């Protein structure tokens, strides 16, 4: 069921993003007087198609991993002399620039609308209160303590752990000090704390901003009560079932779910004896956690069980909501922030501050899309907005075969007064295909490594 949900979620996500992207090209092309021959969502043989009164074929194809808008163009085939004025290559350079840019801009617009809708409807989050501070960590040396609420990062106000993580990720590679503001419980004013860092999070895979600073978010007590048991894993083989509460492991009393996970992760491949409560009675079961190797080479124990969720106290809940006008300003701000963050992440990956293993391909996108869909509409829409921004940014990179590559050629043409030579464009096409193909293979490889 989980696999089916992931596949359906990624089809919906990619379908929306591709449709908006290609509609941007299509809409501006029509207004620039270019004849559009086909608007296709997906590649390959069309599963459905129809023609409109302008002669444009709208199609949904079999492979839902992309799409395209095919325009009348003398470079791609013979054009009837009577329609030559409708060809893409006959339009002014500024018209061609507008058509190329329209696709990525449509993705930014989709993200803007998604964030606006979220801010109007209200975003449910939790107050960012510190649960624990690791001794001798940057947070401890900076004076942060359990029970404090973080109110600002690097001088910018934050209201949730998500906003805190976004601000911290933007500081990857920093040396010197990170500034966090926090206020004690029942206090009205926050105090500034300076946390010493050196080459912070450089090449950490994956980056864990809060853990690296020694900060553990506050969580309500979570008993080790199982909510799900994966078929074929150690927990199911031992007879564990949803609703079971683990009381002890090899005679060690289990404090909560986090403690139980720590005990299991520390014993890969070792036989464990669990004391379990079920229906008011206790029983002993034995199991052997499967050895699971992480990306950094660490081996941990894994039994295939999930925890029963607990509700958050009302005092720790927070809803971020704005009126329609104020929400637009917030949506523009969040879209801009995520765009800058994506560009900065690309830069840091190129210079080696971020590991390339953080690249994600279709498998990871499908998993995250499925997880966000299961988490609710709010998480799904937020993920859709972020992915739409990523698609817009990536398409604007000056790489031939992408929109940004064509944009680069047209900007050069506008500056020089004549087009880039066919030979230069052909060379750029080969380089672009090689680069994009390499990136796709790398992303797929890291996807498979995560899956394995």
Task: Tell which residue, 385, 375, 357, 344, has the closest CA to residue 168.
Answer: 344
- pLDDT tens for residues 66-113? 889 999 999 888 889 999 999 999 999 999 999 999 999 999 999 999
- The yes-or-no verdict on residue 439 having pLDDT over 90 is no
Question: In sequence order, what DSSP letters do the residues of 272-297 get, joined into one string?
Answer: EEEEEEETTEEEEEEE-PEEEE-TTS
* CA separation for the pair 274, 279 (Å, rounded): 16
- Can you tell me the distance from the alpha carbon of 160 to that of 179, in angstroms, rounded to the nearest whole number? 17
Q: Which residues does residue 352 pair with via DSSP β-bridges, in sequence order?
A: none
Q: Which of 197, 116, 190 is nearest to 159 (CA)?
A: 190
pLDDT at residue 261, as a whole number: 92
> Residue 207 has what pLDDT?
80
Catalytic residue among 22, 192, 231, 319: 22
The pLDDT, as a whole number, for residue 148 is 94
Q: How far apart are the first and last CA of the chain?
A: 19
| Rounded CA separation 449/88 (Å) | 43
Catalytic residue check, 337: no
Return contacts of 329-337, CB within 8 angstroms, 24+ apart.
Answer: 330/115, 330/116, 330/119, 331/112, 331/113, 331/115, 331/116, 331/119, 332/112, 334/115, 335/108, 335/111, 335/112, 335/115, 335/385, 335/389, 337/166
- Stretch 203-230: mean pLDDT, rounded? 88
- pTM given for the model: 0.82
E-only strand ranges, 343-387: none
Q: Which residue has the tokens 């890969």?
A: 268
| Cβ neighbourhood burial of 109 (10 Å; 0-12, 13-18, 19+) | middle
The reported pLDDT for the residue numbered 296 is 63
In our burial notation (b when 16+ CB lie closer than 10 A, e otherwise), range 265-299 reads bebbeeebebbbbeeeeeeebebbbeeeeeeeeee
d(CA 315, CA 223): 20
CA distances from 121 to 277, 321, 327, 397, 437 (A): 42, 7, 10, 33, 40
Query: In this predicted model, what pLDDT tens digit does every residue of 397-436 receive, in sequence order?
Result: 999 889 999 999 999 999 998 999 989 988 988 998 898 8
Count of helices and strands (H, E) across the chain: 12, 18
**CA geometry: angle 50, 55, 57, nearest 5 deg:** 35
Residue 375: pLDDT band with limits 50, 70, 90: confident
**In this structure, are residues 125 and 320 in contact, taking their beta carbons and an 8 Å threshold?**
yes
pLDDT at 249: 93
- In this prediction, residue 91 carries a pLDDT of 95
Cis bond upstream, residue 206 (ω within 30): yes
Residues in a beta bridge with 229: 305
Lowest mean pLDDT among 91-95, 310-314, 444-448: 444-448
34 secondary structure, DSSP code: P
Across 148-270, where does the E strand assignment appear? Answer: 149-153, 156-157, 176-183, 191-197, 215-217, 226-229, 245-249, 252-253
Residue with tokens 């720590």: 262
Contact of 3 with 23, CB cutoff 8 Å = no
DSSP letter (8 states) at residue 256: S
pLDDT tens, position by position, 239-297? 999 999 999 999 999 999 989 999 999 999 999 999 999 988 999 999 999 988 776 66
CATH numbers and ranges of domains, the chain:
93-122+322-452 (no CATH), 130-217 (2.30.42.10), 226-309 (2.30.42.10)
CB 160 within 8 A of CB 215: no
**9-37 pLDDT tens trace:** 878 888 889 999 999 999 999 999 999 99
Q: Which residue has the higher pLDDT, 367 or 32?
A: 32
Mean residue pLDDT of the chain comes to: 89
Residue 1 has pLDDT above 60, yes or no: no
Residue 270, CA distances (Å) to 237, 259, 286, 287, 293 in order: 15, 17, 10, 8, 15
* CB-based burial, 165-193: b 16+ in 10 Å, e otherwise: bbbbbbbbbbeeebebbbeeeeeeebeeb
pLDDT of residue 295: 62
Say which DSSP state 319 is in: E
For residues 185 and 331, which has the higher predicted lDDT (pLDDT)? Answer: 331
């Amino acid at each position: 069921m989980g696999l089916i949900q992931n596949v359906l979620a990624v089809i919906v996500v990619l379908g929306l993003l591709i449709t908006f992207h290609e509609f941007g090209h299509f809409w501006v092309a029509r207004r620039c007087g270019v004849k559009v021959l086909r608007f296709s969502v997906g590649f390959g043989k069309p599963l459905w198609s129809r023609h409109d009164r302008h002669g444009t074929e709208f199609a949904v194809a079999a492979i839902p991993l992309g799409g395209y808008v095919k325009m009348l163009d003398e470079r791609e085939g013979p054009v009837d002399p009577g329609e030559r004025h409708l060809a893409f290559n006959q339009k002014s350079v500024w018209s061609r620039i507008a058509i190329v840019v329209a696709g990525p801009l449509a993705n930014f617009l989709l993200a803007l609308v998604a964030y606006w809708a979220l801010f109007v409807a209200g975003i449910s989050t939790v107050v960012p209160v510190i649960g624990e501070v690791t001794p001798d960590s940057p947070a401890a040396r900076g004076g942060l303590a359990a029970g404090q609420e973080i109110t600002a990062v690097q001088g910018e106000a934050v209201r949730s752990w998500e906003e805190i993580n976004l601000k911290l990720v933007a500081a990857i590679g920093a040396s010197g000090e990170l500034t966090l503001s926090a206020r004690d419980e029942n206090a009205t004013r926050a105090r500034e704390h300076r946390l010493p860092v050196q080459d912070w999070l450089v090449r950490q895979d994956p980056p864990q901003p809060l853990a690296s600073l020694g900060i553990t978010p506050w969580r309500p007590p979570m008993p080790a009560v199982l909510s799900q048991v994966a078929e074929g894993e150690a927990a199911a083989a031992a007879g564990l079932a949803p609703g079971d509460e683990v009381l002890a492991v090899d005679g060690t009393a289990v404090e909560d779910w986090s403690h139980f996970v720590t005990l299991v992760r520390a014993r890969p491949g070792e036989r464990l004896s669990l004391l379990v409560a079920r229906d008011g009675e206790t029983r002993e079961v034995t199991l052997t956690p499967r050895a699971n190797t992480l990306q950094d080479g660490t081996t941990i124990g894994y039994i295939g069980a999930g925890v029963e969720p607990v509700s958050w106290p009302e005092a720790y809940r927070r809803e971020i909501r704005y009126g329609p006008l104020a929400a637009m300003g917030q949506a523009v701000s969040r879209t801009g922030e995520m765009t800058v963050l994506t560009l900065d992440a690309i830069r840091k990956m190129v210079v080696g501050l971020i590991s390339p293993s953080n690249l994600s391909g279709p498998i990871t996108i499908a998993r995250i899309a499925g997880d966000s869909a299961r988490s609710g509409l709010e998480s799904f829409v937020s993920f859709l907005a972020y992915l739409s921004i990523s698609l817009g940014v990536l398409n604007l990179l000056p790489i031939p075969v992408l929109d940004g590559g064509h944009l680069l050629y047209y900007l050069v043409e506008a500056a020089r007064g004549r087009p880039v030579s066919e030979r230069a464009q052909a060379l750029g096409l080969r380089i672009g295909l090689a680069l994009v193909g390499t990136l796709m293979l790398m992303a797929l490889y890291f996807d498979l490594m995560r899956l394995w």
